[in-house]
Structure 1
Amino acid sequence: MPSKLTNLLVAIALIWPGPAMAQRHADVHPRYDHGYGTAPRGALYLGGYSRDSEDGQIIVDFYSRQDRSLTNDGIRFGAIPFARRSLDTGAGVPAVLAWADGRTCGSLNGVLMEYSRLVAPAFQVPFLYQAPPAGSQALGGPPTRMHPIDSSVWGLARQPDGAPSVLTFTGSDGLIDRWTTFAEAQLDKCWGAQEPPAA
């Protein structure tokens, strides 16, 4: 019987954008574009994250492949997640370091479940006036703190009205940093040299 993760991955497959949508986001979301454009054959790109390291930027991309054995009606099929770990030293195309297979790494399923629960940060606008001008609302909040960038998360998302979009958010502390730290720890023992084979 399909799990909640399987149902989530099948739902993503049904709403997945074509190459044209990915290309439109290339300038704004280069990590998304790279992960999508370098997806292994037959794989669905889900998104990914990056973290700064002493050697460069660690990049983890999430994918899934349809598994025709995961079905309860012979029509809708489940998916097996897998991940690719790369290192970007700024000297060219990121070098692939390792792979994780959802069939042998249960932690990957947990990381993806938490990934699907991430909430995008709210935009903050400093107070522009002492009092809002007539007929206008003042958007505001606490002053934005400037930190070095060390963590990013990106992938396909849904807007509040249900429309699909590509989302990237970056930060050096708070939820983004906590989640990428969690993902790194959970996947630490999952990495291997071989790309997971197609089901």
Structure 2
Amino acid sequence: MRRLAGALALVLISAPTPGLAQSDWLDVAQATAPRDAWPVGGFAVSGRNGTWRHDIYSRFVPFPDTEDGLGFGHFAIRKSLNNPEGIEQIVWADEETRPQVLGVMRALDAFQPPQIDIWGLRRRIPTEAGLYPAAPGPDGNSYAIWVKAQAQTADGAFTDLMIAGGAGLIKGFVEFAEGQLAACWSRDIPAGFERSHR
């Protein structure tokens, strides 16, 4: 564990993940965020066709006819090919035009991070079914999920969280999210997410 920007960052690796540079997922998302939005998290799949990352951003939208500072988050997801030259082949989906985006957000919100299970301690393995059907075994790809100050430890402290693996619920979530968003992508940048730091 290490400290990142004042928050506790927990990095959990559930299987070897060649091709995924775990340490910079949050940094790249923040550095390339639209100016009026902040990075919430994201997910990625890395394989023979490169690493496709899906960065989730939110911008604050005040409630109409109110001056009390209340409002809601407007979510957009940017899909891009992550390669040594930088982020390319960018497409977008946002909740105003594609309700599937909110479905993916709710699934990410409900995702249960893996339990640390040290071999040899004989801890009983939970038998409850997960949120997603069990995914097949490793397929040669690597999968990752990350969030920025959206996870909480048992004492309520907010944390950055990064998990990666080649199978199981991590793979299941990424495949679920990709399937939900497959018909949603557009080269048009959603309103409110146009201006970038880059």
TM range (shorter): 0.7 to 0.9
Work out whether residues 154 and 167 of structure 1, in 8 Å CA contact, stay in contact via their aligned partners in 2: yes
Once the 2 structures are TM-superposed, how far is the Cα of residue 71 of structure 1 from its aligned partner? 7.7
Query: Which residue of structure 1 lines up, in the alignment, with residue 88 of structure 2?
Result: 95
State the percentage of identical aligned residues.
26
TM-score w.r.t. length of structure 1: 0.73
**Can you list the C-alpha shifts for 1:80-104, whole angstroms capped at 9, x where unaligned?**
1001101123x33121420112110
Considering only aligned residues, what root-mean-square deviation do their CA atoms show, in Å? 2.9
Of the candidates 147, 157, 164, which is equivalent to residue 151 of structure 2? 157
| TM-score, scaled to structure 2 | 0.73
Match of 2:196 in 1: none
Unaligned runs of at least 5 residues, structure 2: 11-20, 126-136, 194-198
1: CA distance between counterparts of 2:118 and 2:30? 32
Report the equivalent of 2:192.
Answer: 198
User: Which residue identity lines up with residue 144 of structure 2 in the other structure?
Assistant: S
Return the alpha-carbon distance in structure 1 between the equivalents of residues 64 and 160 of structure 2: 28
How far off its partner does 1:61 sit? 0.4
Which structure's residues are more often strand, by fraction?
2
Q: Which runs of 5+ in 1 are unaligned?
A: 1-18, 128-137
Deviation at 1:69, TM superposition (A): 3.7
More helix by share: 1
Query: Is 1:82 aligned to residue 76 of structure 2?
Result: yes
Is the CA contact 1:84–1:96 (under 8 Å) kept in the aligned structure 2? no
Q: 1:167 to 1:106 in 2, by over 3 A?
A: same
Distance 1:141 1:125, change over 3 A: farther
SS at the partner of 2:86?
A: coil
For the residues of structure 1 that align with 2:61 and 2:71, how far apart are their CA atoms? 6
Q: What is the correspondence of 1:17-36 to structure 2 with a 5 Å cutoff?
A: 20-21=5-6, 29-36=23-30
Q: Tell which has more relative contact order, 1 or 2 (C-alpha 8 A, sep 6+).
A: 2
Other-structure match for 2:45 = 51
Q: Could you say if the C-alpha distance between residues 104 and 94 of structure 1 is closer, same or farther in structure 2, counting changes exceeding 3 Å?
A: same
Preserved contact between residue 61 and residue 85 of structure 1 (Cα < 8 Å): yes
Residue type at the aligned position of 2:94: D
Which residue pairs with 1:179 in the alignment? 173
Of the three residues 99, 112, 123, the one matched with 1:106 is 99
Q: Please give the alpha-carbon distance, in whole angstroms, between the structure 2 residues aligned to 1:71 and 1:30.
A: 40
> CA separation in 2, counterparts of 1:124 and 1:172?
17
Say whether the 8 Å CA contact 2:63–2:70 is kept in structure 1.
Answer: no
8 Å CA contact 2:57–2:75 kept in 1: the answer is: yes
Structure 1 residue aligned with 2:109: 116
Choose 1 or 2 for highest CA Rg.
1
User: Could you tell me how far 1:68 is from its partner in structure 2?
Assistant: 1.9
